Amino acid sequence: MRSQFSGDALVHEAERLGPIHVTTGFEAGAIEVAGVGDGGDIRVSLAADPISGDVQWFFFRVSGIAGRTARIVVENSGRVSRLEGREQVPDCWTGYRPFRSRDGQDWVRCDALYEDGTLTIPVPPGADTLWFAYYPPFPMARHTAMLGRALANPRARLEVLGQTPDGHDLELLRIGTPERGKPKVWLMGRQHPSETMAGYFIEGLLGRLLDPADALGRHLAETCDLFVIPTVNPDGCRRGHTRTNARGMNLNRAWADPDPERAPEVVLIRDRMRAEGVDFCLDAHGDEELPYVFLGGPLEIPSRTARLSGLFETYARAMERACPAYRLADPYPGGAPATADLRMAWNWVAEEFDCLSVLLEMPFKDTHRQPDPEMGWSPARCAAFGWATLEAIAAVAGSLR
């Protein structure tokens, strides 16, 4: 999809070099074009989610830049909102490096400068076409391929919970056989579409869980009843939203009392959870500001118990042993709230089912533990963390009830 001087594409005519195109006409594409200056500045703005107005995610292609000295200038970067209790934490752009690709498939980090509410990304010489993204996209074709690999294992089967507002299937991967006494383990990702690291995390987790040569994966697939929802918000993922679904609803603020019209995805998942039961739940997300992986547990819910606190500590200690990128010393930011927000999935699930429910947050930037100066917290590291997470699940699986 392209148009001249409007919408998701802009054409800047230059007698010698020809037009520059800025395009978002593909899955998850998102940016608004303000103009192209004579000096080569390509001025854009982050696109706001409908109703909520959330801004953060961007994914676009620039072509016609060969032979030019150009910069991407994101003019409304300063509009990004912050969570409470983070006044002492650097904002999302400080220390952040975007991703760039020559083919839309293989991604590298690139430099950027954030000053006075504007993010500037230099365009390197030599290429005529480049893709830019806040984090490497995890397209629905990759989601489908991941499910296809899983379904090659006879222990896995696919269920469709229902349809989203845009008419897409809400897919649940069921692993294992239901038997009395088996722990019910739920794993979810991508309530927030922009947090694509959750897709790579579940891809790594499923890769180990269903690898017949991996003893731990095979053990968990045999002894647990697993429910995996890799993409809770397929509409938002396809549309290129930051945090909301097709109806403008932040699904991770809908769990206490979901509106069937605005958050049908949450209604469908809650109904299925109530029909099956939950003994453990993990909800995977990404955090834009903090340079570390952190976990949240059921520590502030109204019915909190010493049993749940002990289970969370066991889980977190096992995760610490399994992956050096995570440390208990990197806590939930701002300290624990007095009471849990039951609109959030991990809190609602813990309270509803009296179970261990864990929030996982992975960084968009890098980890200050074992940093990678070249790629930061990359899709490969997300997948490796998913692979290692089976160690922590195994540490608590026998004592969840």
User: Which residues participate in catalysis according to the annotation?
Assistant: 361
Pairing of strands 20-23, 11-12: antiparallel
> What sign does the dihedral 197-201-206-208 (CA atoms) show?
positive
Distance, CA of 79 to CA of 67 (rounded, Å) = 33
- Cα 252 to its chain centre, rounded Å, is 12
How many whole angstroms from its chain centre is CA 399? 29
Angle between helix 197-209 and helix 215-223 axes, rounded to 10 deg: 90
Please answer whether residues 203 and 173 qualify as being in contact, where contact means their C-beta atoms are separated by less than 8 angstroms. Answer: no
For the chain, the first-to-last Cα distance in angstroms comes to: 53
Length of the chain: 401
Helix (H, G, I), strand (E, B) or coil at 45: strand
Q: Give the C-alpha separation, 360 to 113, whole Å.
A: 29
Residue partners of 330: CB distance under 8 A and separation at least 6: 290, 292, 293, 294, 369
Residues 6+ apart with CB under 8 A from 107: 99, 100, 101, 133, 136, 379
Sign of CA dihedral 358, 364, 365, 371: positive
Q: Rounded to an integer, what distance in angstroms lies between the CA atom of residue 1 and that of residue 67?
A: 25
Residue pair 382/204 in contact (Cβ under 8 Å)? The answer is yes
DSSP string, 78-115: GG----TT-TTS--TTTT---EEESSSSSEEE---EEE
